[in-house]
Amino acid sequence: MTDRAPLDRPHADRPVVLSCEAIDQSFGGLKALKGASLQVHEGEIFGLVGPNGSGKTTLVNVVTGFYPPQAGRVRLFGEDITGIAPDKIAGRGVARTFQNLALFKGMSVLDNILIGRHVHMRPSALGTLFYWWWAQKEELANRRIVEEVIEFMQLQDIRDEPVDVIPLGLQKRVELARALVAEPRLLILDEPMAGMNQEEKEYIARFILDAREERGVTVLIIEHHMDVVTAICDQVVVLSYGEIISEGPPQQAIAHPRVVSAYLGERAAKRHQRQEAS
């Protein structure tokens, strides 16, 4: 791992929001994470990058409690949350979006966003969720934050549309809105700009920066678009085959020779796959 000067890290004197310490995660014989460690400080936009299959989503799944790690600890605001259930971790102020959208088809944009208020939700408790939703529908505090976020994310015009008929770029925005209404202290975004054009990407980048400024959230973002990473991230770690191979301010971290060869390796593997297929 590269050393970094504290001066390169403007938020380094702030409290540590998230700390992953030597995380191991295997699926059968496949080691998806090998001793992965990172520290996210309050107010940072922290980038997690690396070639496909390098373990980025797995790390997020460990942090959010979907996979209890085989080794290592996860600390949130200094408290050990290793092995705690996802709903409990959500209840401690962590909200996330998913690489593959996880919206409720057939329900409106507004209803999908309202679900974000259910920070103690468990997937098995959907029945309870809808009861709760109806019971609390008029609840003012919920309404206020939901309306605020709809406005903030500029979703007013499509609030009553079924979520599955709107374009992918807007669906991604709805998912981000759903995460924001939970009023998270740590917001985790798994490829929020996948499949977006340049204009949509810039929109989302602006929302993320504004969410930090106006709502005070700390952001952990998995992102493939390096232009976005260098534009908005304060600090970056690069994963390759489950190991952190570089870290630091974005331009510096990404330019490391190990990172360059990890991505070249990915390209060569893709070329090889294409040749095999043809």
Figure out which of the listed residues 19, 58, 171, 246 binds ligand ADP, where binding follows CB under 6 A: 58
Helix or strand or coil: residue 208? helix
How far apart are CB 67 and ligand ADP at their closest, in Å? 7
57 binds Mg ion (CB under 5 A): yes
Question: Phi and psi of 69, rounded to 5°?
Answer: -70, 155
How far apart are CB 15 and ligand ADP at their closest, in Å? 27
The contact mask relative to Mg ion for 74-103 (x = CB under 5 A, - = no) is: -------------------------x----
100 binds ligand ADP (CB under 6 A): no
Q: How far is CA 171 from the centre of its chain?
A: 16
List b or e across 80-119, with b for residues whose CB sees 16 or more CB atoms inside 10 angstroms.
Answer: ebbebebeebbebbbbbbbeebebeeeebbbbbbbbbbbb
Helix or strand or coil: residue 125? helix
Helix or strand or coil: residue 108? strand
Cβ closer to ligand ADP: 22 or 30? 30
Q: Please count the other Cβ atoms lying within 10 Å of the Cβ belonging to residue 153.
A: 23
Residues 25-44 interacting with ligand ADP (rule: CB under 6 A): 27, 30, 32
List b or e across 155-192, with b for residues whose CB sees 16 or more CB atoms inside 10 angstroms.
Answer: beebbeeebeebeebbbbbbbbbbbbbbbbbbbbbbbb
Among Mg ion, ligand ADP, none, what does residue 235 contact (CB within 5–8 Å per kind)? none
How far apart are CB 176 and Mg ion at their closest, in Å? 17
> Segment contacting ligand ADP (CB under 6 A): 4-12, 50-58, 204-212, 243-251?
50-58
Q: How many residues does the chain have?
A: 278
> Segment contacting ligand ADP (CB under 6 A): 24-32, 77-85, 227-235, 250-258?
24-32
Site residues for ligand ADP per CB under 6 A:
27, 30, 32, 50, 52-58
Site residues for Mg ion per CB under 5 A:
56-57, 99
